[in-house]
Structure 1
Amino acid sequence: MNIARKLPGYLQQLNTWLRGGAWRRSAAGQESPLRAELFSADQMEQHGRVLAASHRLAAGRAPDQLLERLAANESALFEVSRQLTAAVTESQRMTPAAEWLLDNFYLVEEQIRTAKRHLPRGYSRELPRLAFGPSAGRPRVYDIALETVAHGDGRFDTESLGRFVAAYQTVTALKLGELWAIPIMLRLAVIENLRRVGLRIAAGRAERNLATMWADRMMDTAARDPKTLILVIADMARSAPPLLSAFVAELARRLQGRGPALALPLTWIEQQLSESGLTIEQLVQSENQQQAADQVSISNSIGSLRVLGATDWREFVESISVVEQTLLADPDGVYGRMDFATRDRYRHATEEIAKRYRLAEPEVARKAVELAHAGAAIDAAGARPDGRARHVGHYLIDRGLPQLEAALDVRVSGFRALLRAAAQFPLLIYLGAIVLISVNLTGGLLVLVLAGATPAAGLAGAF
């Protein structure tokens, strides 16, 4: 049978079977990896200001989306790992990205466990969330993490991250809770990226396996009965295979150079691709580029997981915290010489006051520092020798808190004022409570006596 002479007729038959475009299965449903233009540290700094200006916060609370997404990512990554492990067992050819992911999957598992441990239910609901954009309804700091990962192709370093967040805060200051959430949000963003690239790896593997199956069947038919090869090609056409880069590249790799009979399916594919202005060579090149890009994304993401575990996040947060930098202006530098636990206590007090009265945290810190400087001036004049009023802690956690609230022009509830009085004068409150109870008991007994009953009988009747 002369395949070359009858090729036009065969192609016409195949085109008839495929009329309607059912073969065009696309990967549009897949989420693209977090892969944007690569930015240097200087560019990330500029991007921080642009991003801050574009963010708009939503009012109220929303359901926690991050835990659900983490669970979905975990499930997807474990399925990808299972498929890749099976491929190794069957001695199938692996792409470099697949090898990277499988070799380091123990680290991915560890980071997923860490993320679940540090992301309790309802945690993200306490964080400011975005009103618009791709991350609408999710925490603002999560979008910052996504941008960090995207513009590093899965990679980040603390210097670039620090400059990015610091530049963001020149437009809008982040809350302390958001700063402390940066590590967990970065971890979630890297896991998200690994899931997206992992699914691409799994999809590409499935396409290559499909191409291998059809290539083996065609080669076997061409060797045994070349006249029936057209029927196998027709079967493949009716199955509507995905004419995507992985499938086409693998089929071409298996069939090219194996004689005129096996050139028939490639000629048909070439004709189908030409309708979209594509060629087999272009898809082969595209597949090679995608595999290289996926390898870089996987290796960068694995490296970022290691950076997350090795970074001193306490030092990082203090270096970018607007509240921290404000409190460091404490007179005589006392605040800066305190240990981390004490400084953290002051920062949390600032956070609590701001949350209670719906104020910006930097504003609370600035007022405390202003009062401390005013207190230092009074101390310098010798009017108050104990020196407590010259320290920010006096206004954040001590008896100077009412002065801070007055300076902030906030209204303190009567119940809170009562609690504060109880904390400042515990002995007086304790003795007063005893006196009050004694008076009530004495009054009750006196009423019983005047009514003609004995105290013992009255007490017995009470039980």
Structure 2
Amino acid sequence: MTNHSADLALFDYLETQEELFRKATLRLGAPSGKEALSGGAEWILDNYYLVQQTCRQIREDMPPGFYRQLPQVDDGPLIGYARVYAIAQKLIAMDNAQFALEHAQRFLQVYQNFAPLTIGELWALPVMLRLGLIELLAQAVSRLSGLPRNNPLRGLPLRRALSDDAIVATCITSLRTLAAQDWQTFFESVSWVEQILRTDPAEAYARMDRETRDRYRKVIEELAFATGAAEQAVAHEAIEWARANALTPRTTHVGYYLVDEGRVRLETQLGYCVPLRARWRRWVLRHPTRSYLGRIGVLALLIVLGGMSYAQAAGGDFLQWLVVSACLLIPALTLSVNFINWIVTRTIPPRVLPKMDFETGIPSDAKTMVVV
């Protein structure tokens, strides 16, 4: 599953394994008077729905093109695979497929002292863990059912040999464990970019809600991808800008250089070339009234002029032109407003407004009184 054909390979792989599991459940569930079902067979029959759910979730969490952007392994038994897949395989092998969140946190913290992971890699880790467990489960189910394997993934051997029955039980238990984790909290505990942003001179970033923090990190990811800089370097640069401009609370906050007017300074420092579409979108957002009303006016004017041209071609006089224009004015404005609204909702996605997280209560410095 190398990156040049990664998306297709991944979806082909999932289809093949789903077919294997389907056939295996039919074979293992077929009544036979010879001998009782093994423990592994009972596990897979009772939890087949969980396997289907996991394969479906892998598809949903791995959008087209995402896998190709992940850094690859340069050497070793998993050469050509995504680095985060190799890490997932290492975690599975190290714990004998018994996933433990604490072990994963410690492993990633040590690993990143030598090779920091990107934001995309950390978000992809749960998917890769599920993928690795599905592969290990498919191997065991294939042997239990006597069905041949097609399109297998490469993996790492478990630290300690297990029977097929034990592998099936352990993999299904681990899939349940993965489904119950709070991956947002896990991500923020191991992300270096997150730790850097939490040094915000305004001390506001750590107090903001999850959606806002995620929006800030996406900007870091976008700028790093476009400029070739490391994500940690981009985050450091934003923090340095905030420290160097501690004149007002607004310019002291790191978000000013990520989602506000200060972003231009950060982009210039990084050598980021703003795409034409992004420039147009920024111009529209800076001049919303002029842009919105101007487009409505131009479109309505074109419709009215079209009606006047038709009246002229039909031999109408000046008074008739005015009557046609007056009759078309309100319909033209209504049509223009509806059309421009339709265009805007499809070309300018809604933005998450930066906000604080007050789930645990309003801090003393944010308390106020509203009198109606």
2 CA distance for matches of 1:72 and 1:410? 42
TM alignment of 1:140-155, pairs within 5 A: 140-155=83-98
Is 2:17 aligned against 1:73?
A: yes
Q: 2:182 aligns with which of 312, 315, 323?
A: 312
Q: Which runs of 5+ in 2 are unaligned?
A: 148-159, 303-316, 325-372
Q: Deviations for 1:93-116, whole angstroms, at most 9, x for unmatched residues? A: 433333333343333233233333
Could you tell me which residue of structure 2 aligns to residue 446 of structure 1? none
Query: In the comparison of the two structures, how many residue pairs are matched?
Result: 303
Is 2:343 aligned against 1:399?
A: no
Give the superposition deviation at 1:202: 2.4
Could you tell me which residue of structure 2 aligns to residue 370 of structure 1? 240
1 CA distance for matches of 2:45 and 2:282? 58
TM alignment of 1:15-94, pairs within 5 A: 62-86=6-30, 88-94=31-37
1 CA distance for matches of 2:253 and 2:205? 8
Structural RMSD (CA): 3.7
Give the superposition deviation at 1:304: 0.4
Give the superposition deviation at 1:389: 0.4
2 CA distance for matches of 1:96 and 1:363? 51
Give the superposition deviation at 1:132: 4.3
Q: What residue identity is the alignment partner of 2:99?
A: F
Give the superposition deviation at 1:415: 6.6
Give the superposition deviation at 1:164: 1.6
2 CA distance for matches of 1:98 and 1:350? 47
1 CA distance for matches of 2:209 and 2:13? 38
Q: Give the conservation status (yes or no) of the 8 Å contact 1:64–1:122.
A: no
Could you tell me which residue of structure 1 aligns to residue 73 of structure 2? 130
Q: Give the conservation status (yes or no) of the 8 Å contact 1:63–1:125.
A: yes
2 CA distance for matches of 1:107 and 1:433? 51
Q: Give the conservation status (yes or no) of the 8 Å contact 2:239–2:254.
A: yes
Identical amino acids, percent of aligned pairs? 38
Could you tell me which residue of structure 1 aligns to residue 312 of structure 2? none
2 CA distance for matches of 1:343 and 1:321? 12
- The DSSP-based 3-state class of the residue aligned with 1:108 is helix
Higher relative contact order (CA 8 A, sep 6+): 1
Stretch of structure 1 that moved more, 89-98 or 152-161: 89-98
1 CA distance for matches of 2:132 and 2:48? 16
2 CA distance for matches of 1:302 and 1:203? 20
Is 2:31 aligned against 1:161?
A: no
Q: What residue identity is the alignment partner of 1:78?
A: R
Q: Deviations for 1:193-223, whole angstroms, at most 9, x for unmatched residues? A: 000011122239xxxxxxxxxxxxxxxxxxx
2 CA distance for matches of 1:405 and 1:60? 30
Q: What residue identity is the alignment partner of 1:346?
A: Y
Distance 1:435 1:110, change over 3 A: closer
Q: Give the conservation status (yes or no) of the 8 Å contact 1:101–1:298.
A: yes
Distance 1:300 1:421, change over 3 A: same
Distance 1:100 1:375, change over 3 A: same
Rg larger for: 1
Q: What residue identity is the alignment partner of 1:397?
A: V
TM alignment of 1:59-458, pairs within 5 A: 62-86=6-30, 88-203=31-146, 293-376=163-246, 379=247, 385=248, 387-412=249-274, 416-417=278-279, 419-427=281-289
Give the superposition deviation at 1:310: 0.8
Q: Give the conservation status (yes or no) of the 8 Å contact 1:372–1:392.
A: yes
Distance 1:431 1:191, change over 3 A: closer
Give the superposition deviation at 1:398: 0.6
Q: What residue identity is the alignment partner of 1:171?
A: F
1 CA distance for matches of 2:264 and 2:63? 34
Q: Deviations for 1:34-91, whole angstroms, at most 9, x for unmatched residues? A: xxxxxxxxxxxxxxxxxxxxxxxx88775532211111111112222222112x5435
